Chain A
Amino acid sequence: MRRYFGRKLLVYGLTFLVAVTINWMIPRFMPGDPVQSMLARANVSQPAAVEAMRAHYTSLFGLDLPLWEQYGNFWAALFRGDLGTSIWLFPTPVTDVIIRAVPYTLALLIPSILLSWWAGNRFGAFAARRRWLDNTVLPIGYVLTATPYMWLAILLAWGLGIVAGIFPVSGGYSFAMRPNWSWEFVGNLALHWFLPFVSLFLVAFGGWAIGMRNMIIYELEADYSTYLSSLGASRRLIRRYAFRNAVLPQITGLALQLGVLVAGALVTEIVFSYPGLGHLILQAIQNQDFFLLQGTFLFIVVGVLVANFIIDIVYVLVDPRTRTGIGGEAA
């Protein structure tokens, strides 16, 4: 067991190392000069002042050092939780910008992932034993999973937002409001949250439902199900076993899909101008704010890795086969 998690941790550690390195590299070798864009924005006309500012910014961002030193400093700063200073929102630290955006992304991701997984599994298992449901809803499920996140988001924004006018289509809350803990503000937050959430939920839901439906049919035809039926066990017991066993691959599926789901959330945020990490990425690109871009990516990578690790642990807890395999005590 300890060896298993040791190995897992090593893999995650290596992934992290590679991710950080790539992360550090990309903006540095990307076209576009961030200092130049800062200066352009500052709109200073005196050449001497421009030079002074350039020197100031360059040393502030550490761009005048040799590459390897920049790399080392990057790691050192990383462990201090220092991801640099945002150019877009100068002089706010990148960490602060990210921390402000994270609640929005999590508020979209966590409910949409967990609810779609739960509801999709329930529904898929349910559909598997009703022929008419299977025949009508399954195609809808296929259409849903095949829909790119962006499309569905745009469709919903157009249909329920612009045409029907029920939901706002952009922002995390109305511009006229100041964040506070009043019911009015929370309600406003919820209203803005709804459409991005639903579009994420629906796409993921279709995928889980189809996966579950196929898995459960497979499990109901497995030998242990046949044996139980031959011994006259109740349908309920057989379904319960089948459901439990069919959920296991869905947990692995969750780990595999996590990256896709996060990417979907980022795109959806962009469509709805929702002030989460996806929105930050867009702003960072538009403003050539590579510290922010770097920081956001890094944050996402770490988040996905942590979530994967949690899923690994859950899987080991629920599937005895992995546990015995890990312990090496199988006869």
Chain B
Amino acid sequence: MTLRVDDLRVHYRTLRGEVKALDGVSFGVGDGEILGLAGESGCGKTTLGKSLIRMDGRMRLAGGTVSLDGAELPIGDDRRMNPFRFKRVSLIPQYSMSAMNPTRRIGRMITELLASRGESVDTAELERRLDLVELPRDILGRYPIELSGGMKQRMVMVISTLLDPSLLIADEITSALDVSTQKAVARTLVEFRDRGFVRSMIFITHDISLTYQIADTIMVMYAGRLAEKAPASVIVSEPRHPYTRMLISSLPEVGVRHAERRLSGIPGRPPALLDPPQGCRFRDRCPLAFDRCAEDPPPIEVAPGHHVACWKA
């Protein structure tokens, strides 16, 4: 197993108190596995992704452990985490359009970035990868402003995976793209995995239909917790958690974006994470809720590789 996350708790420090954005999340990602992370806006997907590579100044590790390839990842310690970044854990940011320094030629930026990590550029390999994503080789002599949006996206994908990380985190990288480009990006990610540029991947998006196309496993989160995790086909064909079921049934046509849209099929909204309620967090909106739901439902493995956190599962 490449990645192992145990009871991860990450809070945001705010003036009004700690926002418990991740409140005890456990899961694993295997070798060569692409894990799709889904769930409503605000459920903690970005927080999870950032926690695994670089926490921002307001995040605090409140508990839990993460291990990668058998070694512990010191995610709460910015300094100790640094050697792992890029080499072991890497990310394709959501802001690919502005991720490259506008005043450096791309090739030079890559050289300087690698040099600061004590690595040198393997030009032949870099050019092979440029060819693979259909970027011209002379792109290295250009400035980011001279690239189209799609080219920047692919360039950043190549840069992020240059050191063959074990784990790649891709957070909403397709949200700003049109449907055909989204599919091309998704295919490229799969190809990167197949060629061993990355061992495993966490792919975050609102678009479950897109996730379904590339992910081996889908994990659905709700209000800072895991709701259900299962192989992609199982999540889509036989979801067990009431939330997943409603999510799947409210699924729009494949490829239609619903990034900004509230899930129409599920009335109500998730609880505030500043002071989350006791018991199952979906209780207010769950049609199946009963007495027992006042207690926290623990995630249970209902079938091999199929985890559900619901008393009715």
| Binary contact track B53-72/A, C-beta < 8 Å → 1, others 0 | 11000000000000000000
Across-interface contacts of A241 in B (CB, < 8 A) = 101, 103-104
- Closest Cβ of chain B to A236, distance in Å, is 7
Known: A320-B143, A324-B143, A331-B147. A231 touches B103 (CB 8 A): no
- Give the distance in Å from the alpha carbon of A321 to the alpha carbon of B104 in the complex: 10
Instruction: Give the A interface residue count (CB, 8 A).
Output: 25
Instruction: Give the B interface residue count (CB, 8 A).
Output: 33
Across-interface contacts of A324 in B (CB, < 8 A) = 143, 145-146
- Give the distance in Å from the alpha carbon of A293 to the alpha carbon of B95 in the complex: 56
Q: Is A222 an interface residue (CB 8 A)?
A: yes
Q: Which B residues between 103 and 121 are near A, CB-CB below 8 angstroms?
A: 103-105, 112-113, 116-117
Known: A223-B93, A244-B103. A233 touches B143 (CB 8 A): no
- Closest Cβ of chain B to A330, distance in Å, is 6
Interface contact A234-B93, CB-CB below 8 Å:
no
Stretch in B22-30, B83-91, B183-191, B271-279 touching the partner:
B83-91
Known: A230-B54, A230-B93. A245 touches B103 (CB 8 A): yes
- Closest Cβ of chain B to A100, distance in Å, is 44
Across-interface contacts of B113 in A (CB, < 8 A) = 228, 231, 233, 237
Q: Is B249 an interface residue (CB 8 A)?
A: no
Interface contact A329-B146, CB-CB below 8 Å:
yes
- Closest Cβ of chain B to A220, distance in Å, is 12
Across-interface contacts of B117 in A (CB, < 8 A) = 231-234
Across-interface contacts of B147 in A (CB, < 8 A) = 331
Across-interface contacts of B95 in A (CB, < 8 A) = 223, 226-227
Across-interface contacts of B90 in A (CB, < 8 A) = 231
Q: Is A248 an interface residue (CB 8 A)?
A: yes
Q: Is B123 an interface residue (CB 8 A)?
A: no
- Closest Cβ of chain A to B258, distance in Å, is 25
- Closest Cβ of chain A to B89, distance in Å, is 9
Interface contact A223-B98, CB-CB below 8 Å:
yes
Q: Is A229 an interface residue (CB 8 A)?
A: yes
- Give the distance in Å from the alpha carbon of A229 to the alpha carbon of B82 in the complex: 9
Known: A248-B103, A320-B103, A331-B146. A222 touches B85 (CB 8 A): no
Q: Is B211 an interface residue (CB 8 A)?
A: no
- Closest Cβ of chain B to A231, distance in Å, is 4
Known: A230-B53, A230-B54, A237-B116. A224 touches B102 (CB 8 A): yes
- Give the distance in Å from the alpha carbon of A319 to the alpha carbon of B143 in the complex: 11
Interface contact A226-B146, CB-CB below 8 Å:
no
Known: A227-B93, A330-B146. A232 touches B102 (CB 8 A): no
For the residues of A in contact with B, the DSSP-based class is helix
Known: A223-B93, A241-B104. A232 touches B82 (CB 8 A): yes
Q: Which A residues between 289 and 331 are near B, CB-CB below 8 angstroms?
A: 319-321, 324, 329-331
Across-interface contacts of A237 in B (CB, < 8 A) = 112-113, 116
Across-interface contacts of B53 in A (CB, < 8 A) = 230
- Closest Cβ of chain A to B85, distance in Å, is 3
- Closest Cβ of chain A to B95, distance in Å, is 4
Q: Is B99 an interface residue (CB 8 A)?
A: yes
Across the interface, B101 reaches (CB within 8 A) one of A232, A245, A248, A331, namely A245
Interface contact A232-B148, CB-CB below 8 Å:
no
Q: Which A residues between 177 and 228 are near B, CB-CB below 8 angstroms?
A: 222-224, 226-228
Best-buried of B86, B98, B99, B148 by chain A (most CB within 10 Å):
B99
Q: Is B100 an interface residue (CB 8 A)?
A: yes
Across-interface contacts of A248 in B (CB, < 8 A) = 103
Known: A223-B98, A324-B146, A329-B146. A231 touches B104 (CB 8 A): no
Known: A224-B98, A224-B102, A245-B103. A330 touches B86 (CB 8 A): no
- Closest Cβ of chain A to B98, distance in Å, is 4
Q: Is B174 an interface residue (CB 8 A)?
A: no
- Give the distance in Å from the alpha carbon of A330 to the alpha carbon of B145 in the complex: 7
Across the interface, A223 reaches (CB within 8 A) one of B99, B143, B146, B159, namely B99
| Binary contact track B155-196/A, C-beta < 8 Å → 1, others 0 | 010011000000000000000000000000000000000000
Interface contact A321-B91, CB-CB below 8 Å:
no
- Closest Cβ of chain A to B72, distance in Å, is 17
Interface contact A232-B100, CB-CB below 8 Å:
no
Across-interface contacts of A329 in B (CB, < 8 A) = 146
Across-interface contacts of A244 in B (CB, < 8 A) = 103
Interface contact A224-B146, CB-CB below 8 Å:
no
- Give the distance in Å from the alpha carbon of A321 to the alpha carbon of B102 in the complex: 7
Interface contact B98-A222, CB-CB below 8 Å:
yes
Known: A237-B113, A241-B104, A331-B151. A321 touches B143 (CB 8 A): yes
Task: List 13 A-B pairs, Cβ < 8 Å.
Answer: A222-B98, A224-B101, A224-B102, A226-B95, A227-B93, A230-B54, A231-B86, A232-B84, A241-B104, A244-B103, A320-B102, A320-B145, A330-B146
Top 8 nearest A-B pairs (CB, nearest first) are A232-B85, A223-B98, A234-B116, A231-B86, A227-B99, A223-B95, A237-B116, A224-B101
Which A residues contact B (CB, under 8 angstroms)? Answer: 222-224, 226-234, 236-237, 241, 244-245, 248, 319-321, 324, 329-331
Given A223-B99, A224-B98, A231-B117, output 18 extra A-B contacts at Cβ < 8 Å. Answer: A223-B93, A227-B93, A227-B100, A228-B113, A229-B54, A230-B85, A230-B91, A230-B93, A231-B85, A232-B82, A232-B85, A232-B117, A241-B103, A241-B104, A319-B103, A321-B103, A321-B145, A329-B146
